Amino acid sequence: MRIETRLAERLKQINPSSTLAITAKAKKLKSEGKDIISLGAGEPDFDTPDFIKDAGCQAIKDGFTKYTPTTGIPELKKLISDKFKKDNSLDYAPSQIVVSCGAKHSIFNALMALLDPGDEVLIPSPYWVSYPEMVKICEAVPRFIKTASTDNFKVTPKDLEKYITPHSKIFILNSPSNPCGSVYSLQELEEIAKICVKKKIFVISDEIYEKLIYDNLRHISIASLGKEIYDLTITVNGISKAYSMTGWRIGYLGGPADIVDAISKLQDHTTSNPTSISQKAAVAALMASDEFTRNMCLEFARRRDYIITRLNKIKKLDFITPSGAFYIFCNISKTKMDSFTFADRLLNEANVAVIPGNAFGEDEYVRISFAIGIEQLKEAFNRIEEWLENN
């Protein structure tokens, strides 16, 4: 067998993540004793609350370590159904819910269930790094909708309609978004819903950051805006961001019964059930009050506001204030560097790691995470400011 024929064509099209190169280099330098401050984290820096960890430990002690139903234990699915109703005004019966190994897994399942080769998926740019690569694995075509900073990196109805073709099958909506922290308003979602219903476009609504919203804004689920858009939407969420449980790997989706049934069959033959122990921990999380999440959100808001005061003094960086999540997407075009060069030099010369924007479809930007303590943020921005003054 010739070596070039060993891999499936679909995998040859998958791009390696440029974020991994910077992250790996930062870890290597840190292991060598360098004082590296990483502003690249895509997860909360808070520990999982003890009551959730205790529930996981208790599950082990109780011997809850066997297979569960593929789509999740009934107790957890009922709590997710209740959560959708209370928080999102969505009526998803437990039978319309699939619990998976993280929200990423849920998105991939939805794409696999809906896409045929050659179908197009409309993806606003900047975008989360994995969306286009998952679409390619499904042998479909990512079609990027470029958004503008003047629109807070949100898709306008005009742009959405302009990019729809006869091959368009899915629109991916991410609110609050990674990497920009953009939050769509009710009016904006109503206009998007109208277009998707008219054109019969499915919506995968990635709502993983819904609990991390600032400035008294509120999260709205597009599927709650009427039966027609409800029937076209797969709503994706999880416990990783809201409860600082990234490593527990529990995500979930709700959707129309026929799509959920197809996703259930797919998961039957891929991962089977998500981890039994993690499901019990998720039960504890969803049964608790929102106190932990509220306090975490308040701390993220404090950090965001601190970064904004620092960025306002740095003339070479421009930014849009994020309304949600824990990232700021910074325009570096005044430095005359592309995003990888900027990130690589900042790491080598100032010992600060950021994520290049080319990973998110925008090479004139870098992503800065504020999922890191305030004292480290202060030191990181001291270094960034000094480095930019000399470059």
pLDDT tens across 57-79, in order? Answer: 999 999 999 999 999 999 999 99
Encoding tokens for residue 46?
A: 């808070």
What average pLDDT score do residues 121-127 get? 98
How much is the pLDDT for 2? 55
Please tell me whether residues 244 and 277 are part of one structural domain: yes
Please tell me whether residues 121 and 239 are part of one structural domain: yes
In this structure, what CATH number is given to the domain that contains residue 240?
3.40.640.10
Please tell me whether residues 117 and 131 are part of one structural domain: yes
pLDDT in tens, 241-272: 999 999 999 999 999 999 999 999 999 999 99
Check pLDDT > 60 for residue 3.
no
Whether pTM > 0.85 for this model: the answer is yes
How much is the pLDDT for 1? 46
Check pLDDT > 60 for residue 180.
yes
Per the structure, the count of domains in the chain is: 2
Please tell me whether residues 137 and 264 are part of one structural domain: yes
Mean pLDDT computed over every residue of the chain: 96
Check pLDDT > 90 for residue 19.
no
How much is the pLDDT for 11? 87
Q: List own/partner pairs for 263-270 with CB under 8 A and 24 or more apart.
A: 263/98, 263/109, 263/110, 263/112, 263/113, 264/70, 264/71, 264/98, 266/109, 266/112, 266/113, 267/70, 267/71, 267/98, 267/100, 267/109, 268/70
Please tell me whether residues 113 and 217 are part of one structural domain: yes
Please tell me whether residues 33 and 66 are part of one structural domain: no
Among 241, 270, 287, the domain-final residue is 287
How much is the pLDDT for 27? 86
In this structure, what CATH number is given to the domain that contains residue 377?
3.90.1150.10
Please tell me whether residues 380 and 337 are part of one structural domain: yes
Range of the domain at 108: 50-287
What average pLDDT score do residues 7-17 get? 83
How much is the pLDDT for 95? 98
Instruction: Give 236-250 as a DSSP string.
Output: EEESTTTTT-GGG--
How much is the pLDDT for 6? 80
Please tell me whether residues 186 and 306 are part of one structural domain: no
How much is the pLDDT for 210? 98
**pLDDT band of 25, cuts 50, 70, 90:** confident
Among 240, 261, 287, the domain-final residue is 287
Q: Are strands 233-238 and 37-38 parallel, antiparallel or unpaired?
A: unpaired
Please tell me whether residues 36 and 98 are part of one structural domain: no
Task: Look at 17-31, 54-68, 127-141, 374-388 and tell me which has the smallest mean pLDDT.
Answer: 17-31
Check pLDDT > 50 for residue 166.
yes
How much is the pLDDT for 286? 98
CA gap 249, 282 in Å, rounded? 10
What average pLDDT score do residues 73-98 get? 98
Please tell me whether residues 296 and 279 are part of one structural domain: no
Among 287, 307, 324, the domain-final residue is 287
pLDDT in tens, 130-162: 999 999 999 999 999 999 999 999 999 999 999
Strand, helix or coil at 105? Answer: helix
CA gap 219, 71 in Å, rounded? 26
**pLDDT band of 4, cuts 50, 70, 90:** low
Please tell me whether residues 330 and 362 are part of one structural domain: yes
Strand partners, 329: 367
Please tell me whether residues 271 and 345 are part of one structural domain: no
CA gap 48, 33 in Å, rounded? 28
